[in-house]
Structure 1
């Protein structure tokens, strides 16, 4: 299994466990905002959880480019690659 796939699976697990997202709504092309229905505090929690799991920090500008789950994966992948 390649590293990106394992990162995406871990992100999905986090969303399911921490934010009680139904696994069925997690689809690369699905709208992140509509599917997750997160409020501003949830986004803060998401930033903290991503940082603690992957060692990268998401900033407000990152969320502006995250429309779909795939966008979310791509931002995290890019930040991890830049860190390494």
Structure 2
């Protein structure tokens, strides 16, 4: 899966499942603040990622994930 496909899938479910405005989605966007994701949303996000990408995520995976770009990179690493 290419990085572009990963980004597109993540952005699509952020828009569809989390009702994030497409204008708010950028690589620099802070997941917690800009996208207004709370702790319950993060759980939902993990479930969505696991089902869409067939990868397993744990809490430690998110230690250094601050921006959407960090998140894209995490998923890309998990898939490789």
TM range (shorter): over 0.9
Q: TM-score, normalised by structure 2?
A: 0.92
Runs of at least 5 residues in structure 1 that lack an aligned partner in the other structure: none
Task: Quote the residue 2:59 is aligned against.
Answer: 60
1:19 aligns with 2:18: yes
Task: Quote the residue 2:44 is aligned against.
Answer: 45
Structure ranking higher on relative contact order (CA contacts 8 Å, 6+ apart): 2
CA distance in 2, matches of 1:75, 1:55: 13
Deviation at 1:43, TM superposition (A): 1.1
Aligned residues: 80
Runs of at least 5 residues in structure 2 that lack an aligned partner in the other structure: none
Runs of 4+ in 1 over 3 A off after TM superposition: none
